[in-house]
Structure 1
Amino acid sequence: MDNEGQLLEKGKRPSADNLDDFVAALYEIGDQYKGKFTGIAVYAPGKIFRQYCLDVAVMILNLQTVINGEKVVIGGGISAQEILIEEIRRQFGEILQDNPILGQQVIPPEIVAAKFRNDTNLYGALFALLQGMQK
């Protein structure tokens, strides 16, 4: 079993906060990528990355079965990597394809990166501040 498989076997799962650190450590690419989420585009095709995207796709599916939204917007620094958005879309499609009943019942939402990417949270905080000042 390779290093990625061993990490996943142990139940270790990367999160949006540490996926870049997982990849940097796994491929021994050094600290220049740690905390920056830029190494993913080069080293992403691994099992850990695919598992992470599958986990996100399952979360989107869970939400979609309840709220039936038209669009899912992924924000933050993680959304800057187009490969991530593409893989989440692919994984979501595979879930529906592999489960015919789900495929017939669930309308896939459009999965996109937030317009303001990593600054999305800042705009949200500013909006909340401005709303609070109006009261």
Structure 2
Amino acid sequence: MATTGITPSQDDRSVAELVRQFSEQTSHLIRDEMRLAQAEMSRKAKHAGAGMGLFGGAGLLAFFGVGALVTCAIAALSLELEVWAAALIVAGALFLLAGVVAMLGRGQTKQASPKPERTVENVKRDVGELKERHR
């Protein structure tokens, strides 16, 4: 007679009890994994927030740097022209540059579609195939 190595006390558990125990352990494992993911995402969000704040600070400093360059351009032109004329020329150049950038932005915006066209087409095709199969 071959022995299986299972004692009667180990073999006495019913299938229902084993399924219940499996379900409890799986549920516990999933909850633990969700807590771990939440803690990890919280840490990453803190780092992302700090990074975004630093990027904002860099943008502000760059803005002031551009202002200093504009002032420099006005001061350089004022060596040959009146200060008001130099400021007017620099302001006109800035408005012209702003208009070019706005037109480029408008062109990019027009290319953006409010709906995901390829996805809509794929879904329509999938629905059509499902209808064909059920006929």
The TM-score by the shorter chain falls in which range?
under 0.3
TM-score, length-normalised on structure 1? Answer: 0.19
Give the TM-score of the pair, scaled to structure 2: 0.19
- Larger strand percent: 1
Report which structure shows greater RCO (CA 8 Å, sep ≥6): 1
Give 1 or 2: higher helix fraction. Answer: 2
In our comparison, the structure showing a higher alpha carbon Rg is 2
